[in-house]
């Protein structure tokens, strides 16, 4: 039992949740390493939402609400950490939800779909096709889902699929604590934040955008600026770490 007054309570709860989901076959063993890498970068921003990430979250809401067809792409780690948050964002944005996996088995797909459904998400199902130009199983997508989408939110994404989606002409929003990753640098919009903080921020923004704000946010989107701001935040914290 993790005491709620522990200074890293949220992080430890997330770690315990993803470990449990790994034992249940929802998270691939490789996903544990990916989670640990993200934790390391979260330390560098103080385990909090920084100003540039808050701006990126509002911009993400603007993009989802303005899309012709938005899809939230979910992998095992995202489902394990934020199934309820995915469902809430779906309700707020009207986006579809589709499961997409690198370490893909039908059993994992079924378990993740069930977890998301139990938390209130409506998950697209059907026969996937090799739509995205990749040689591995993340190419498999639903024609009526990611295949048809113009905006795709891909939390905790692989860089090669992000690049492939961009090459297909889709706008890609990602949530990635590493501002140096291929995903962060390739995406249309990167939110440098932890997924259980970022998703509720996007959801809240969907309900609070003022008239004309969505258009202004999209027109002024500068992902290079957002990444540089995150890196500057990390540098400043490192510079003062031993003072």
Give the mean pLDDT of 14-41.
Answer: 77
- pLDDT for the residue 136: 80
Q: Are 132 and 51 in contact (CB under 8 A)?
A: no
Q: Are 47 and 10 in contact (CB under 8 A)?
A: yes
Specify which residues 73 forms β-bridges with: 98
Give the mean pLDDT of 65-81.
Answer: 94
22 within some domain: no
Known binding-site residues for ATP equal: 15, 37, 176-178, 182-183
Dihedral (CA of 147, 166, 196, 60) sign: negative
Q: How many domains does the chain have?
A: 1
178 within some domain: yes
- pLDDT for the residue 39: 87
Q: Which has more pLDDT, 149 or 12?
A: 149
Known binding-site residues equal: 15, 37, 176-178, 182-183
Q: Could you tell me the CATH number of the domain that includes residue 204?
A: 3.40.50.12640
- pLDDT tens-place string over residues 89-134: 999 999 999 999 877 888 889 999 999 999 999 999 999 999 888 8
- pLDDT for the residue 76: 87
Give the mean pLDDT of 47-76.
Answer: 97
**CA-CA distance, 208 to 200, in Å (whole number)?**
12
- pLDDT for the residue 2: 67
4 within some domain: no
Which pLDDT band holds residue 210 (cuts at 50, 70, 90)?
A: very high
18 within some domain: no
Residue 180 predicted with pLDDT over 90: yes
- pLDDT for the residue 17: 78
113 within some domain: yes
Q: Are 72 and 97 in contact (CB under 8 A)?
A: yes
Residue 19 predicted with pLDDT over 90: no
10 within some domain: no
Q: Are 131 and 166 in contact (CB under 8 A)?
A: no
100 within some domain: yes
3 within some domain: no
**CA-CA distance, 200 to 48, in Å (whole number)?**
13
Q: Are 48 and 200 in contact (CB under 8 A)?
A: no
Residue 21 predicted with pLDDT over 70: no
What range defines the domain where residue 134 resides?
51-239
Average pLDDT, rounded, for the chain: 90
- pLDDT for the residue 156: 76
Q: Are 65 and 98 in contact (CB under 8 A)?
A: no
Give the mean pLDDT of 66-70.
Answer: 98
Give the mean pLDDT of 142-163.
Answer: 90
Integer Rg of the chain from CA = 17
C-beta atoms surrounding 106 within 10 Å: 7
Spatial neighbors of 105 by CB under 8 A, at least 6 apart, are none
Residue 195 predicted with pLDDT over 80: yes
Go through 140-166 and write b for each residue having 16 or more CB atoms within 10 A of its CB, e for each that does not.
Answer: bbbeebbbebebbbbbbbbbbbbbbbe
């Amino acid at each position: 039992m993790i005491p709620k007054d522990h200074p890293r309570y949220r992080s430890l709860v997330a770690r315990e949740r993803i470990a449990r989901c790994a034992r249940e076959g929802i998270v691939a063993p490789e996903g544990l390493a990916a989670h640990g890498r993200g934790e390391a970068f979260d330390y560098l921003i103080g385990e909090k939402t920084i100003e540039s990430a808050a701006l990126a979250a509002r911009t993400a809401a603007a993009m989802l609400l303005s899309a012709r067809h938005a899809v939230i792409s979910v992998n095992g780690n995202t489902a394990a950490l934020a199934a309820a948050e995915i469902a809430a964002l779906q309700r707020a944005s009207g986006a579809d939800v589709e499961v997409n996996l690198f370490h893909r088995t039908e059993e994992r797909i079924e378990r993740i779909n069930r977890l998301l459904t139990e938390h209130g998400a409506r998950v697209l199902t059907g026969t996937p096709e090799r739509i995205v130009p990749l040689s591995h199983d993340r190419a498999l997508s639903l024609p009526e889902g990611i295949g048809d989408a113009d905006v795709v939110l891909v939390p905790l994404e692989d860089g090669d699929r992000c690049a492939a989606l961009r090459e297909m002409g889709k706008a890609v929003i990602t949530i990635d604590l590493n501002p140096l990753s291929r995903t962060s640098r390739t995406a249309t919009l990167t939110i440098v934040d932890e997924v259980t903080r970022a998703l509720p921020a996007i959801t809240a923004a969907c309900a609070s955008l003022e008239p004309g704000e969505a258009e202004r946010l999209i027109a002024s989107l500068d992902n290079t600026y957002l990444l540089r701001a995150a890196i500057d935040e990390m540098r400043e914290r490192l510079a003062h770490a031993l003072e």
